[in-house]
Structure 1
């Protein structure tokens, strides 16, 4: 007669083998449901109306929650592409990235705006923001001045394309600062060569400053260094011509006094070369270019009500204060 079944033992064996699998399956099902609920919540949030998202983005910006504002602007751009909301989100998103010092993201967003809406009222501000992005990356003159050149280029677009824009004044101030930096870098390199008596290389740098940055504060020293380098090489006529340009344009400059004193050591004096390259440059200068004045970094201009817009203004296709707001 067969042994009686030992039910307790069998039950324990079944539970030991099956129960873990059952528990794992339940966990996966619960996790899947939880994931679905989370995605559903996100989907609902993503599908918020664009006017709500836009106003939330502006509110976050004003409160200093710049990362949260970026999320809202990006959501508008993705959910409602090519809409009026997306247009406003692009320009404000670019400025918002600038405030976060995410300059590459800001530049890319502003460039997209320019490509999509080249005739918009806010295109001037897009160029201006690109200029700000590069301007804030300008290093001291001991480093490469590539960002100075890019800042000046972008800001010059504002001046050339939108001469009546409110951004022109600050753009000009920043262009001038950037040009001073670029000229300063060339002066630093020129002095390096001059100290090592590599006169031809030094002259090349100083001449470049005079030819390309004649309205910067660096030009006075550049002219003196040309006197110094040419004098050392025995090229008297070039030394005299550079000294003459100094005396004519900056008679009270300490650099002119030093140049005059240097020439006097050999009984020489400043003398104009009317056919030389220096005379051609300074002969073509305008009177207002001779007044260098103080160099400043300017004052950043934040987007005004016209650029910012609002849910109501965008929805009605108008700007606040009764000005037009749609891209044209």
Structure 2
């Protein structure tokens, strides 16, 4: 009987060992398998799963041959998924870790691209929206990103696209300044409006907003009673943009508001209910 019990015990032990062996985890995916899986997700536009696999690859094989490429592709996957903040953070990390990498120019470019589209919503894809009225913070950062790319890597494959985007960004930032000037006119802060116009003329002279900036300066100085300061921007406006709507056929400036207190007798008599004051507003993009 003892011999029988021993045989049964050995059989049970063998069964337990075999069961444990069957329940062991499968071997972890190799670095190449993780990378190829991530590539498949990118091709199918499943960018969230692509990010997960690329991050897993980097954590398991931080010094492997695919690690640095995975860091670059994480930037792209974040950007394509619409997570611009994560894309910027990933680009910053790559630049910090690999400042001399042969593809670091791509990180600069993608950082600029992520900031370029920062703040865009779903409606922007289907409707024409005025981006010049938005906070210029991301646009300014994008411009600086592209500027760094061109300074460090003037022959980069991304240089031409970066230059084109910088032109658009500069025009966008200049138009933002005009929008702010129009707001200052509404608040009757004429000196602040004049300063915005002067900033565009002095710092963004090649932008399409310059004609409006000159008109802003002329209008603001006239409202401030500073006719001598209005003469120079008026002269430049006449010589360079004679067809601007603020000029009549003789080149005289057409003020958008009266200069004698801004309120007519009727307006004062009706306590502002009739003949209301309309602040100057300069936005002649249809002429650009």
User: Structure 2 length normalisation: TM-score?
Assistant: 0.71
Distance 1:229 1:259 in 2: 21
Aligned to 1:180: 171
What is the DSSP-based 3-state SS (H/G/I as helix, E as strand, rest coil) of the residue aligned with 2:85? helix
2:76 is the alignment partner of 1:85: no
Alignment gaps of 5+ in structure 2:
1-18, 121-130, 256-286
Q: How many residues align?
A: 228
Instruction: Establish whether residue 224 from structure 1 lines up as the match of residue 215 from structure 2.
Output: yes
User: Separation in 2 of the partners of 1:72 and 1:206?
Assistant: 50
Q: Answer yes or no: is 1:124 the counterpart of 2:101.
A: no
In structure 1, list runs of 5 or more residues that go unmatched: 1-32, 265-293, 296-328
Cα displacement string for residues 196-224 of structure 1 (whole angstroms, at most 9, x for unaligned residues)? 43211211221122222221111110101
Superposition deviation, residue 254 in structure 1: 3.7
RMSD: 2.7
Q: Which moved more, 1:195-204 or 1:106-115?
A: 195-204
Q: Does residue 240 in structure 1 map to residue 231 in structure 2?
A: yes
Counterpart mapping for 1:1-328 below 5 A: 40-41=25-26, 44=27, 47-138=28-119, 140-255=131-246, 257=248, 260-262=251-253
- 1:177-209: CA deviation from partner (whole Å, max 9, x where unpaired): 222222222211211222343211211221122
Q: CA deviation at 1:37?
A: 5.2
Shift of 1:138: 4.7
SS at 2:66 equivalent = helix
Partners of 1:185 and 1:135 in 2: CA distance: 15
CA shift in 2, pair 1:168/1:254, >3 Å? farther
- SS of the aligned residue for 1:141 comes to helix
Distance 1:37 1:173, change over 3 A: farther
Distance verdict in 2 for CA 1:82–1:179, change over 3 Å: farther
Matches of 1:248 and 1:50 in 2, distance apart? 66
> In the alignment, what sits opposite 1:276?
none
Q: Is the 8 A contact 1:224 1:256 kept in 2?
A: no
2:252 is paired with a residue whose SS is: helix
Cα deviation, residue 109, structure 1: 1.4
Q: Higher relative contact order at CA 8 Å, sep ≥6: structure 1 or structure 2?
A: 1
Deviations 1:72-99 (A, max 9, x none): 2111110111333110000011101100
* Distance in 2 between residues matched to 1:98 and 1:259, nearest whole Å: 53
CA–CA separation in structure 2 for the residues paired with 1:259 and 1:120 = 60
- Secondary structure, aligned partner of 2:221: helix
Q: Higher mean Cα deviation, 97-106 or 242-251?
A: 242-251
Distance of aligned partners of 1:149 and 1:88 in 2 relative to their CA distance in 1, 3 Å threshold: same
Query: Quick one: distance in 2 between partners of 1:259 and 1:80?
Result: 74
- Contact 1:227–1:243, Cα closer than 8 Å, also in 2: yes
Alpha-carbon separation, structure 1, partners of 2:83 and 2:215: 42
Aligned mates of 1:37, 1:215 — CA distance in 2: 70
Deviating more after overlay: 156-165 vs 231-240: 231-240
